[in-house]
Structure 1
């Protein structure tokens, strides 16, 4: 039997034991939380030097063009802390595609960020293989990009001295053949291990009003201007009320319904004497007849057709996320008339402009655009190949055939897109000059494909503040088409 004094002594001991037990439980619970639930946040914390060092312990996977040209690789670094350094041999030419990898992660996007798990080797398929055979390093990504088309797009856009973007697609597969955004930057500026210098570079580029870190090809949308007349024409042909030889009214001005505002054709003149066939109105890019067609078809018909081409969706990744192309949800007749011309609040990424052309080129079937062709391990074993897949049924095959004829007329004699014509090759296209209320200077736009009879490339060009699309954007498209087809076997 325990004496009363002993029982009094045991009471504080029990309290201490309970307190110690509670503290031990709290300690074990916190350790479990940190290791099992919060480890990802700690690993991503830029103050975690161990994680930062681990990123450079083994070579990161290479990024190659379709012909094997290396545009991103890792080399041994002359640094006591970091073993490998990222190198970008192409510099600004491929920056919109690669993005960059630095001390602080994958920066402004690009393939480096979108395919981080594969390139770092953290993808289970890569990691398991490394555990089995002892190899170290990330997977190699072979892209769909064509070197000649990319160079032509970059040089052509740079020659304008204006910001903008160019995208080229294989309409049969959705493979992205070129993706350029200007102004660009050199990703090698971000590969330094000098933290202070890296901060200065990042602040300078992020503070640059020209926004060189922005991928305009997929991260910004613009008024597409008259290139949207492809969508309007698709809706008109599908309605059964219009055909290529249907005569449409084309006065020099058209009063927008319910307003006192008058819409005019380019130059303020009537098209075709005030009335002409639909094909000719398209070839000359007349505004008043297409505004009238928009009102006649109605907002719902135009919106439905725009959505068929991929407007108003957020499901597109290439693998980088793509900004939404927009067709306004609710419009009155005046706004519908302007939207039929690719104005008012209609917005499209340069990628979407290329996709519109690609859908027509592929008999109305729009393929899902993609940048990565195949993924392979360090030993060359291919673990993934991208299979072309349909993305949208934009229009019927018959409508696509008739639209192709209309687009061929644009680049032919007397059309607005003759500057896109290629000797010996029929090019189908559509010019656009998009009003831009923000900057006050019209954007130059062009969308087209070639060869018209058996398309292998579709191109979208947008030059910010470039002016007439037929004069500024069309020659860039021609250069890209020539570069690509010149390097392809017929």
Structure 2
């Protein structure tokens, strides 16, 4: 064979080798990607051949599927509309799914390994068994109240969030983010209309797609004083210990004085820690924070859950909705030394302190428990087979951390109960139950109204916790924290009235 033919033969062999390698690459490594691609129309049709399982709470279907006459056999529907949107998320045809729809997609779609037996049975019967059913922890009464009270709040606020959890287990009783959205148009089989609905929501300046209970972090204001009070109790300061207060105090190195919300609040040079919490004494807590030091405050905040980057809420220990980390922020000078002015502001929940509503509820829940433990929050109570005869998962509550001792929890409970009975949280009262809490008014920007916060808990006559809650009303202005307290009381009262709440 002459040289030119040999060269041609070598080139042809190399090309065949590359073709063979590419085919193996596609089959071995890229097959799943191509098979599950949104651009693969056959995959979409196959996905909608099987009826998707329900998402339910309290025996009510919150997400279900109905049969259609179109190419895509089943349409996902959300009977509750906007009320449950940030919990459920949505399951669109081409867009990315969110919420429980995303976290439990495989089980709902019937493709989970747990449902392999059903799929094998279908091979012999020719049936197409539906997906599994997901049962949530939500109290329908508490969710209804949270949604209606937030939406019709007395301050006329358009943005905010409310979340309630059971301190005994960590089960989420209610979760509402405002403004909300109707997920039904996003699940439309008309992908042009679904995309248009999504784009309209995405461009809304109030960001209705954002789950503010999990993803929004705001300065918590005086609710953060519970964390500082816990640090004080662990460092030799008791409920009756006198701490410096006064109508005004200027931190070292700062010419800007810290004042109280009103001249009637702790004008005395000294007040007890109990009074400082009850009255929400800024000057007292600013000086207390500087006395304790930045490291102590930061450590105690971390023990409550600040700085945690990997918390998700869905199943216990499984993928769920990601929760933004709450932060204490910087309290330092450029040279690394503590900045007393920044520390003083941080100790009253300002400066760079940022908190999610979920974190606020977790703080209240820890205080509510007699042992001071914090339970891992979760939304999924049970996974049921398509025929509902078999349970593949039942939540088993688990401890997340222990931020405080039982004694510190007891002292904090007394102080937070005093806030509701004698201080700024009076609108959270519930007849026949012991309610504790802490209001918070947080500056948002110099030209904007303040945020209004409330964190709190309800105890039964035996002192056992039933519900812990956090409500935030963004830029609510004067009276915002009192309105947050009123809404929180209504939510906890609904949770108590739910058959599973007592």
- State TM-score, norm by structure 1: 0.93
Give the whole-Å Cα distance in 2 for the aligned partners of 1:190 and 1:439: 36
Give the whole-Å Cα distance in 2 for the aligned partners of 1:106 and 1:139: 20
Give the whole-Å Cα distance in 2 for the aligned partners of 1:37 and 1:286: 62
Name the SS of the counterpart of 1:427 in structure 2.
strand
Say whether 1:390 aligns with 2:399: yes
Match of 2:448 among 411, 417, 440: 440
CA RMSD of aligned residues (A): 1.8
Match of 1:82 among 72, 86, 98: 72
Name the SS of the counterpart of 1:267 in structure 2.
coil
Give the whole-Å Cα distance in 2 for the aligned partners of 1:372 and 1:328: 32
Relative to structure 1, the CA distance from residue 426 to residue 469 in structure 2 (aligned partners, 3 Å threshold; closer, same or farther) is: farther
Within 5 Å, which residues of 2 pair with 1:357-436? 357-362=364-369, 363-380=371-388, 381-412=390-421, 414-436=422-444
Contact residue 185 and residue 193 of structure 2 kept, 8 A: no
1:101 matched to which residue of 2? 91
Unaligned runs of 5+ in 1: 1-6
Within 5 Å, which residues of 2 pair with 1:57-456? 57-65=49-57, 67-79=58-70, 81-107=71-97, 109-134=98-123, 136-160=129-153, 161-162=156-157, 163-240=159-236, 242-271=237-266, 273-318=268-313, 319-331=320-332, 332-362=339-369, 363-380=371-388, 381-412=390-421, 414-437=422-445, 440-451=448-459, 453-456=463-466
- State TM-score, norm by structure 2: 0.91
Give the whole-Å Cα distance in 2 for the aligned partners of 1:75 and 1:416: 49
Contact residue 331 and residue 342 of structure 2 kept, 8 A: no
Contact residue 168 and residue 459 of structure 1 kept, 8 A: yes
Give the whole-Å Cα distance in 2 for the aligned partners of 1:175 and 1:106: 27
Name the SS of the counterpart of 1:211 in structure 2.
coil
Contact residue 250 and residue 270 of structure 1 kept, 8 A: no
Instruction: Name the stretch that deviates more: 225-234 or 119-128.
Output: 119-128
Deviation of residue 14 (structure 1)? 4.8
Contact residue 165 and residue 181 of structure 1 kept, 8 A: yes
Q: Deviations over 1:226-255 (max 9, x none)?
A: 111110000000111x11111222211010
Give the whole-Å Cα distance in 1 for the aligned partners of 2:49 and 2:110: 11
Q: Deviations over 1:352-398 (max 9, x none)?
A: 11011011112310011011111122122111122111111111110
Give the whole-Å Cα distance in 1 for the aligned partners of 2:376 and 2:148: 27
Give the whole-Å Cα distance in 1 for the aligned partners of 2:19 and 2:53: 40
Name the SS of the counterpart of 1:85 in structure 2.
strand
Structure number with bigger Rg: 1
Deviation of residue 304 (structure 1)? 0.4
Match of 1:485 among 461, 486, 496: 496
Unaligned runs of 5+ in 2: 314-319, 333-338
Give the whole-Å Cα distance in 2 for the aligned partners of 1:239 and 1:423: 35
